[in-house]
Structure 1
């Protein structure tokens, strides 16, 4: 269940990465508006994945 919720949240973040720059940030003339947004979303996904996988181990 934890992985399913994580997959849903990451999917929403990926959709935001496509939708927001072309809708909310389309009036920004410079490219770094979208780049900063994508950079922040990438950081959020990395942190989220680190939290999600911290309990995984190879011990049986």
Structure 2
């Protein structure tokens, strides 16, 4: 099963969920910059989970 590239992609997104809002967007006084970023990352993680599990079969 070739899910290792997707697992690393998900871990990269998890790290970005901490680095970008608390690092890059820390000077932004409003909350919607981080909310938009986390919403987009959430959609990407859902997509990565779909690709990781599409080859699962019942045994």
Task: Identify the TM-score tier after normalising by the shorter chain.
Answer: 0.7 to 0.9
Residue 27 of structure 1: how far off its partner (Å): 1.5
> Scaled by the length of structure 1, what TM-score is found?
0.85
Alpha-carbon distance in structure 2 between the residues aligned to 1:6 and 1:54 = 12
Q: Could you tell me which residue of structure 1 aligns to residue 16 of structure 2?
A: 16
Larger RCO of the pair (alpha carbons < 8 Å, separation 6+):
2
> Scaled by the length of structure 2, what TM-score is found?
0.86
**How many pairs are equivalent?**
59
Alpha-carbon distance in structure 1 between the residues aligned to 2:3 and 2:19 = 24
Deviation per CA, 1:15-51, whole angstroms, max 9, x where unpaired? 0000000111112111111011001001000011112
RMSD in angstroms over aligned alpha carbons? 1.3
Unmatched 5+ stretches in structure 1? none
Residue 55 of structure 1: how far off its partner (Å): 1.8
1:1-60 to 2 correspondences below 5 Å: 2-58=2-58, 60=59
